[in-house]
Amino acid sequence: DTAVSQTPKYLVTQMGNDKSIKCEQNLGHDTMYWYKQDSKKFLKIMFSYNNKELIINETVPNRFSPKSPDKAHLNLHINSLELGDSAVYFCASSRDRGENTGELFFGEGSRLTVL
Amino acid sequence: GQNIDQPTEMTATEGAIVQINCTYQTSGFNGLFWYQQHAGEAPTFLSYNVLDGLEEKGRFSSFLSRSKGYSYLLLKELQMKDSASYLCAVVDSNYQLIWGAGTKLIIKP
């Protein structure tokens, strides 16, 4: 069983389109995250979600919106895609947050290419 | 600002030992992680240090000096499968993870 799974693994789309990436974790964790990894390999936090509390990285454009139907799922919806959105997006989870965060478990990544 | 520095790339020989350094300047410190990331794959947890000293786990060891803002990951008896990027990440005073850009390790036969 995959602990953190995300789909699709690859996504190629045109500028201006809207797309979603889904993420599910079966670890019973309370906190989930979305990260963006660009061509320079920096991992940048986009969102973290814990017990219905959403913490947003203020640098993330509002075209990006996370949606969590329950604590095992955190989906990422992107409106009006731009060329600069091309990157690998990683979903991750941890058992809690703050001092009880522990290690992060990552999904396999979703490579988004915007043409 | 907050900053994590690691070498961009290192090369080592199969069977040898390599040390990957990480220096950090962050607002507070609540621990340091090392993750391994193979090309095209997810980062996977290697180690966590919050107290000074060396933590050994098989062929991999991680060292921390909080006073110097410094950590290293030591890989012994290198194998070809150790070719990967190694990411250093620091937990700051707000329990946010600050990531380095990673060190790409190339293992040659």
Rounded to an integer, the average pLDDT of A34-51 is 89
Strands (E), chain B: 3-5, 9-13, 18-25, 32-37, 44-49, 53-57, 60-65, 70-75, 84-91, 97-99, 103-108
Residues in chain A: 115
| Mutate: best of B3, B37, B50, B93, partner A, most A CBs <10 A | B37
Residue B41 contacts A where some CB pair is shorter than 8 Å? yes
Average pLDDT in the A69-83 region?
A: 95
pLDDT of residue A1: 65
Which of A90, A101, A104 shows the shortest C-beta gap to B95? A101
Mean pLDDT of A45-62: 86
Q: What is the mean pLDDT of chain B?
A: 96
- Rounded-to-integer distance, Cα B97 and Cα B35, Å: 12
Q: Please give the pLDDT value at position A49.
A: 92
- The mean per-residue pLDDT over the stretch A77-103 comes to 92
| Chain mean pLDDT for chain A | 92
Average pLDDT over residues A34-50: 90
Q: For residue A41, what pLDDT band results from cuts at 50, 70 and 90? A: confident
How far is B88 from B90, CA to CA, in rounded Å? Answer: 7
**Tens digit of each residue's pLDDT (9 = 90 or more) over B71-99:** 999 999 999 999 999 999 999 998 889 99
